[in-house]
Amino acid sequence: MSTLVSLEVIQKNPFDKVTFPKAKPAPVFMDRVDYYKKDQLKSFLDTAEILYADKKYHVYALFRLLAFSGMRKGEALALEWKDINFDGCTIAINKALSVDKNGNTILSTPKTKAGNRIVKIDKITINILKHYQAIQATSILKSGLKAKGFVFTNNDLQSYMKIQKPRKWCETITKKADLPRIKIHGFRHTYATLSAQAGMNIKQLQYQLGHDDVQTTLAIYTAVTE
């Protein structure tokens, strides 16, 4: 339009006095934390159980797993039941879900050697997963569908859960529990922090988290124990 004015095709720009809306800045949450303290985590999981244990037990099971294993969200959502050793209380991590630049969900192997690992899981979390497996099996049987073996699925019971889904549940739980906001990755940080406070050996923590560089683990360990 300004070009037309300069060429004297029109006398003035009709949009000179128009105020265009400015793009909204990304929200900054002052109440967001990087990790939860022990009592905050308990409050979060208790609330998650109350909200979802009846009809959406997978939500409670997912957050319990994230908080008590230290695994990444993409690693948890890529799990298959065959990866879980219920008797040995371990989970084999050998793949992860992520989203590409086009918004498509992709399944890939860990980016580093350290990402391929077998993590230890506490007995309570194992029992929660076992209970969830029974619930899922009943739902699949009633639907007449064939089990795909995925731990966390969409409502169709046939595909990996969309990677964006947990964020909405997390927001609902934190609001209900009157807790500070936390990113899904914050549960990994929560696990690392509480484990370091409990005295877990730094090499054990590095392995459990799948850190390729011990300095990454050491940064967390030092911040907590100093």
Residue 3 lies in a domain: no
Residue 8 lies in a domain: no
> 52: domain CATH number?
1.10.443.10
- Say how many residues make up the chain: 226
Residue 91 lies in a domain: yes
Residue 22 lies in a domain: no
Residue 149 lies in a domain: yes
pLDDT of amino acid 146: 93
pLDDT of amino acid 112: 86
Q: Where are the alpha helices (DSSP H) in the chain?
A: 2-6, 38-52, 57-69, 73-77, 123-143, 165-177, 185-197, 202-209, 214-225
Instruction: Return phi, psi of residue 52, to 5°.
Output: -120, -10
pLDDT of amino acid 216: 85
Report which of residues 220 and 85 the model is more confident about. 85
Structural domains counted in the chain: 1
- How far, in Å, CA of 99 to CA of 102, rounded? 8
pLDDT of amino acid 3: 45
pLDDT of amino acid 226: 59
Identify which of 91, 88, 51 has the alpha carbon closest to the alpha carbon of residue 72.
91
Q: What is the pLDDT of residues 3-40, one digit of tens each?
A: 444 444 445 544 455 454 444 444 444 578 999 999 99
Residue 128 lies in a domain: yes
Residue 16 lies in a domain: no
Mean pLDDT of 184-209: 94
Confidence of residue 126 (pLDDT cuts 50, 70, 90): very high
Residue 105 lies in a domain: yes
Q: In this structure, which amino acid lies at residue 11? A: Q
Percent of residues, the chain, with pLDDT higher than 90 = 73
pLDDT of amino acid 103: 85
Q: What is the pLDDT of residues 133-169, one digit of tens each?
A: 999 999 999 999 999 999 999 999 999 999 999 999 9
Confidence of residue 224 (pLDDT cuts 50, 70, 90): low
Domain residues for the domain of 132 are 30-225
pLDDT of amino acid 9: 43
